[in-house]
Amino acid sequence: MRNRPETSEYDPFFSTYIDQVPDGDILSILAESVEETMTLLATCPEDRERYRYDPGKWSIREVVGHISDAERLYAYRTLHLARADPSPLPGMNPLVWAGSSNASDRPLSHLVEELAAVRAATVRLVSSFDEAIWRATGVAGGRPFTVRSLAYVIAGHEIHHRSVLEERYLDGL
């Protein structure tokens, strides 16, 4: 059941993330993918951590803070569905969350450590699921999901933002 979710298991908006996840075991992908992001971020000079490629765009620090925040949210949604809670979950406005975070005031090294801890907790959580839990369904942000699709959203969201970091923030370093 850990293979790629069917398109009926999630809202089409999230195909942006799910389509970026390579084939393979999602637990391995989750564990290995964050290592690639951390390796990329290790190349960022300290004087570039606040860099924005355009006015109004997030800094590198804020992107990393957003990845952690979103993963926490998606992991909570995963847990909520896994525990068969029928109540719908609210959505998330990433611009409000980013504007309320203090990521821009924290060293990138701290944000990367936090991301590693968040991912370790996510991997530990999803590795505990049996086949029935992977198929569990629910609604979050007004959109349908399965537990399996949320695991892919988590991986794909991070991969998406790693690509943005590579292409728009750290290209040429």
Q: What is the mean pLDDT of residues 34-49?
A: 97
**For the chain, how many helices (H) and strands (E)?**
7, 2
CB 30 within 8 A of CB 122: yes
CA 173/CA 169 separation, integer angstroms: 9
Which residues partner with 145 through β-bridges? 10, 138
pLDDT at 172: 73
- The reported pTM is 0.96
Enumerate long-range contacts of 21-24, CB under 8 Å, 24 or more apart.
21/152, 21/155, 21/156, 21/159
All structural domains of the chain, each given as residue ranges with its CATH number in brackets, are 7-41+59-169 (1.20.120.450)
CA 112/CA 90 separation, integer angstroms: 27
The overall average pLDDT reported for the chain is 95
Encode pLDDT of 47-96 as tens digits: 999 999 999 999 999 999 999 999 999 999 999 999 999 998 998 999 89
CA 69/CA 67 separation, integer angstroms: 6
